[in-house]
Structure 1
Amino acid sequence: MNDFDAPELYEIRLNGHLDDRWADWFEGFSFTRASDGTTILSGAVADQAALHGLLRKVRDLGLPLISVIQVGNNQ
């Protein structure tokens, strides 16, 4: 497996706090509710298509997207 095939770790920051009931929708991602009123979703994304699917889910929630940061790979 080369570096392009390895799942990448991402942190996605949203304005607002996500409730635990959304955990199933974002399977495999952990939620951190920050004191500044934001939520950070952290987890591995298999490829660019999966990242775009995840961002569509974020869009569908209606919470403003603050940032998407690639923090490393999951090897």
Structure 2
Amino acid sequence: MNGTNVSTEDNHGPERYEIRLKGHLDARWADRFEGLSFTYNNDGTTILNGPVVDQAALHGMLRRVRDIGMPLISVNQVDSKVSTGPDMNTD
């Protein structure tokens, strides 16, 4: 085994993620998910969408979701060039 570590990741900046939650996340939690936009869907779900710096930051966000008790439906990495529809940002 040699001592060279080769990364398979491109170091081109933060990746974009879409985190879907069951229920509508109250706007008072917006500061815990800084940098992500909130979209409230008619099906009773909330989508958090935005850039996440790295895997550690993603895991931190998922811990916050767990801590506030929101059921997690899905986590998807999305193409930053693709829009998920109208944004209802809580700002």
TM-score for the superposition, normalised by structure 1? 0.88
Number of residue pairs matched by the alignment: 73
Q: What residue number does 1:60 align with?
A: 67
**Residue 35 (1) aligns with residue 42 (2):** yes
Q: Which has the larger strand fraction?
A: 1
- The CA deviation at 1:4 is 3.5
Listed as ranges, the gaps of 5+ residues in structure 1 are: none
Distance, in Å, in 2 between the alignment partners of 1:4 and 1:52 is 19
Equivalence for 2:88 = none
Query: What is the CA RMSD across the aligned residues, in angstroms?
Result: 1.7
Mark the structure with the bigger radius of gyration.
2
The whole-number CA distance in structure 2 between the counterparts of 1:73 and 1:52 is 20
The aligned counterpart of 1:15 is 22
Aligned equivalents of 1:66, 1:26: Cα separation in 2:
17
Shift of 1:73: 4.9
C-alpha contact 1:7 1:73 (8 A) present in aligned 2: no
Structure 2: stretches of 5+ with no match in the other structure = 1-8, 82-91
